[in-house]
Structure 1
Amino acid sequence: MEVSANTPAVVTGGASGLGEATARALAAKGAKVAIFDMNEEKGEAVAKDIGGVFCKVNVTSDEEVDAGFAKARDAHGQERILVNCAGIGNAIKTASRDKQTGEIKHFPISAFDFVIQVNLIGTFRCIAKSAAGMMSLDPLSDEGDRGAIVNTASVAAEDGQMGQAAYSASKGGVVGMTLPIARDLMREGIRVNTILPGIFNTPLMNAAPPQVKEALAASVPFPKRLGNAEEYANLAMCMIETGYFNGEDVRLDGAIRMAPR
């Protein structure tokens, strides 16, 4: 599906990092982009800069997601593109022993559940609601192309590190549901793909000390650096615009395989 002037698109987590880069890449090709995010100040600024619209959305809320899609569609029309970048992470061992006191603790179930709610169920919530809307559109071609969806997982879906049980489970779920959803939507002409980013230079990573970033970059086989958000956006655009790209999960990681810690 070619991205052209006035193509309606929605990017969750679009106020910063991978989502912002993708929103800007879509806008550069003329798309009308709605940004779903919790960061109102940053989201409004990015939306203004790219000629889009900001929708304050918590992807764990049916009501907020519905309101976000309603606002986006009122401004730009029914979206043909959805890119899911909203997500969170934590680092907690399944069970651990305090080195000083010997006290044994387990992963708080509420913390595990929250990561699943945002990363996995939040992603599916946006997919299901967006796909239902796309189904109302007329096809763009004789092949029946109606829309494209790109999701964000992580290399942690396949080689999660210590403390990443919740994060890996959530991202593994995104990978696992990609093909079934693509099959669910195949007769409607809606394609679904997922990107598994490695270590990227995002605002979250910018907070790390320089020596930590240098060590992480050195662990990447080639090129020996952190990924750039624009590289994620390039792959997302390829998935959107290449009509035969469907049901795939693609690592974007410089060939890294994460160590246990």
Structure 2
Amino acid sequence: MTIRRIFPVFLTASAGALALLLSAPTAASAYPIVGAPELTHNPLYTVPALPSVSCKAVKGTTKASTTAYLKKIVGCLNTAWGKRVKEFVPAELAIRNTLPGPCSSGLTVSGSAATSCYRSVQVQLRSDWIRASSELPVLVEVTRAYAQFVQSQTGISEAWWALRYDGEEAEMNEQTHRFYQQSDCLTGVSLKSLGRMARDWGPLLSAETPKEYDRFIPKWYGKPANRLAWFKTGYNTAKPGACNTWKAPSPKVA
């Protein structure tokens, strides 16, 4: 029996046909989750749809305006989730020019990055995000870090990290996909609550992911099509309960 060994960079730190992702419980998974109700039956899944929150954050192209923008976005997310999750503790936001690797991981990132760390959101703010004229790529990255903050606060991160595997790398990879694709889905929930829209969300899911993570992304997140499907499920429903990747059939989280 082995313990998860994948590098936890982002951890601790959105109709129609897509609804089929969660409407086929009779399809068996290759590696069902057993004995981890924090994953499969988390109270998060009973939370009503997030309310629409007015969040008129405007991203400028100076350090001061970008910092103010990031603070506003996290504040809006705290408001949205705080209206739905009992005993919710708002995320703190730490913005630095240099972080000691995402969540003290030791992995150096040259540009800007956002991560969930010890139930807070940390941002390494560099010139790339400051100069960015469009908010959406940056917003997706920050909101995904916030989604992983939600996973941490609700006990999902800890339960995922505690999973054991009987020497099956394929099993470990699948459950890792479940975690990160759930964060994509919760990102969709949050962005719908904030009222943000895009013609094509697909490229935005990885537009601002640090290039240093390129070699990890396929193992962490799985197929881009599944990532986008889960994101759209969350976005279209605005319901955290639509994001229970832990009970989905294996092909839906490949």
TM-score, normalising length: structure 1: 0.30
- Answer 1 or 2: higher relative contact order, Cα 8 Å, separation at least 6: 2
Q: Which has the higher strand share?
A: 1
Structure number with greater Rg is 1
